[in-house]
């Protein structure tokens, strides 16, 4: 079982570092999804991205990701990068649909419970290629 690697303080620090973020809210104005990215030297790093389980498989994640990538391209980014848990096959499929491809593995990148760790797959996307 995975543990949450991002405490609230980390989110706050990210926002103070000029990260860009978008949220999806439901009719009750509750956050149901978010994405955070950082653009530096023509590269966009997707730092964190999540959709609440009750709102998954409705196309919201795809829309949010594509919006973030379009915005990054408009800001001058040429490539986007992210890490994803090797076990997160649903997210990997979403990223592949958005033209991300594997460029490497980060061994023991994510913490798991009981002191174990999980590999991350490093994915990249050329924002200048045709969709």
Phi (first) and psi of residue 70, to 5 degrees? -60, -45
For residue 90, the tally of other CB atoms under 10 A from its CB is 12
The answer to whether residue 110 is catalytic is no
Q: Of these residues, 9, 83, 109, 110, which one is catalytic?
A: 83
Residue in 113, 89, 82, 88 with CA at minimum distance from that of residue 4:
113
In whole angstroms, give the CA distance from residue 124 to residue 99: 8
Q: Of these residues, 28, 55, 78, 95, which one is catalytic?
A: 95
For residue 81, the tally of other CB atoms under 10 A from its CB is 16
Residue in 90, 105, 37 with CA at minimum distance from that of residue 66:
37
The answer to whether residue 95 is catalytic is yes
Name the residues annotated as catalytic. Answer: 83, 95
């Amino acid at each position: 079982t995975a543990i949450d690697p991002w405490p609230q303080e980390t989110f706050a620090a990210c926002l103070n570092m000029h990260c860009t973020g978008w949220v999806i809210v439901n009719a009750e104005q509750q956050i149901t999804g978010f994405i955070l990215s950082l653009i530096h030297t023509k590269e966009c790093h997707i730092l964190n991205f999540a959709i609440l389980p009750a709102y998954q498989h409705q196309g919201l994640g795809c829309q949010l990701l594509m919006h973030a990538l379009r915005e990054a391209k408009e800001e001058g980014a040429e490539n986007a990068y992210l890490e994803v848990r090797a076990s997160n096959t649903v997210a990997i499929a979403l990223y592949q649909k958005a033209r991300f491809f594997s460029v490497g593995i980060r061994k023991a990148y994510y913490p798991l419970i009981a002191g174990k760790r999980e590999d991350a797959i490093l994915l990249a996307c050329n924002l200048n290629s045709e969709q």
